[in-house]
Structure 1
Amino acid sequence: MRSAWLRNLTPLCYIRCLQLSISLCHSTGEKKSSRASPEKPKPDDHLYVLEHNLHQMMREFHKQQLSSVVMPHPASAPFGHKRLRLAGPMAYDKAEISNLQQSEGLLEKIIKQAKHIFLRSRTARTIDSLASRIEDPQIQAHWSNINDVYESSVKVLITSHGYEQICKSIQLQLNIGVEQIRVVHRDGRVITLSHQEQELQDFLLSQMSQHQVHAVQQLAKVMGWHVLSFSNHVGLGPVESIGNASAITVASPNGEYAISVRNGPESGCKVLVQFPRSQIKDLPKSDVVQDTKWNQLRGPHKEVNWSKMEGRNFVYKMELLMAALTPCL
């Protein structure tokens, strides 16, 4: 009886002596000199949410293990539990241990939670860096308070200051998982991104570039201008590594003036204005076109020095330009 009682206490002694240390390593292309002298961990790097989840998960795991075994333990334990006790002395690898388990193990759950939390912190850091570095357009992040241990969600809004009601912002729903990020657009399109920070940053930069062109389209409708052409992915001009450039062409209410806008994530903004032929003095005369009615057509484009335009942001400058080219009634 005494030996059976001691065998029953053996699992409890293992639980009390258990100490787990988790450290995630991310390999980069840094030099060996920097690897030789690693930086000391900061006190802010401690993740209390992960620690709480790990404690809760380990307690649930031990409760399931103790309650599922028929007493007395371990003499009449199931065959799978007997084999698992030999994993340490026999030096089983991950493949052999997974074959003995019918469900996902504790270590796999811990790794998945750790990957998710680090991916969520990287996403937040990427969004915050873009918001602090780029003032126009503005990027906002609204994190959900109700999340799963393996998935979190954040809503990203791209707006222009002072034109939130006129220019509808781009809304993106980021579902952060374990090793990937699912981006859901407002129209239902789904894009899957990897865990790399650069991929998420390039995607957000391309969306911010498209927002400027969408803002010109909404502003033209409010001011009475006509949209002649619009494209989210321009097939002409230099090819950019981050994403395709967007372009739009709008005409004044009387059709005399036209404004063409091209905006790219790398090349930036380029604005061209097309004036009527009658207002261009240095336009060479043509011997082919003799009728004066063709002089009412618009002439070649002229680029606007956008850096010297007055205005606090891109949409405000575009509003001033459209107001200056709109004829007085």
Structure 2
Amino acid sequence: MARSYLDWNATTPLRPEARAAMIEAMDVVGNPSSVHSEGRAAKALMERARNQVAAALGAEGQDVIFTSGATEAAALALAGREVHCAGVEHDAVRSWCVEDLPVDRKGRITVTDPANSALQLANSETGVVQEMPEGLYLSDLTQGFGKIPFAFNWLGTTCGIVSAHKLGGPKGVGALIVKRGTDIAAQLKGGGQEMGRRAGTENLIGIAGFGAAAEAASRDLEGGIWREIEKLRNILENAIADRASETIFVGNESRRLSNTSCFITPGWKGETQVMQMDLGGFAVSAGSACSSGKVKSSAALVAMGFSETEAGSALRVSLGPQSREEDVMRFAEHWLKCEAKHRARRG
């Protein structure tokens, strides 16, 4: 059976550029903290990657703190602080915050105290993109990085978090981006790596892959690839909307990531849809991959005002550079056949 991967917001295939950079890094013997030639070679490789990530983000190299992923980056920025957020934030941010920022049915969040608030640039489940208020403390840039143009230095945000595997890099590496002069207390203490803000020998192989992936993703963005992907997303939604009148497309009245479609068919459980699509050869999601295996409604959709039943009936399709029109059309046909059977059983 031919399979189509339509879950790019969960994770992305490893880019060839990242794979090549990681293989190169495997042959580098030195510890980046050592002062001999081998250590300096490792350090140079790491700093090249740091500058690649910074350039793609519109930041400076010294602003980038490498971590094990966006989850650790969020913890590093938020531990010990009282920060406010909305219920649509990823659990990696939401679990540290006071969840009291209002969000409307279109996924738009109201921030009244930016200096003490966290606000995602783009939502992983709905794709809704937020307007960044000046002086915001933290923004989860993970889903927007490489998909929409922005520069950290222009956002007016104190901290940002990103993850390599969302843009074609390896899993297990990410970064916290910090505005110059911000006091960040190390959560991992020891050898003083990452300018004293994150101790532990750096994951040189992963970091090298991250840098190469960030650079390649930036080229794709400048080349307009996501405009082409948006056309595919619209083809998919139009095909479904024409024949499934009860289905609700979440966030489609707001600015969204060009690759993301989240739609609700009330009463048809998202987990059931995921399994039926998987049997048909399609990898999709019922929500954030970090919440997989948990049979519960989407907290993000509930926060937006959808009922528990509606939130539990959502499916997310997220496309990427390797997605093709035949993928989305085959998916739409399979989904519509399954949806018709669901309606027939329901009577």
State whether TM-score is above 0.5.
no
Provide the TM-score with structure 2 as the length reference.
Answer: 0.21
Please identify the structure whose Cα radius of gyration is greater: 1
Report the TM-score, using the length of structure 1 for normalisation: 0.21
Task: Decide which structure has greater strand share.
Answer: 1
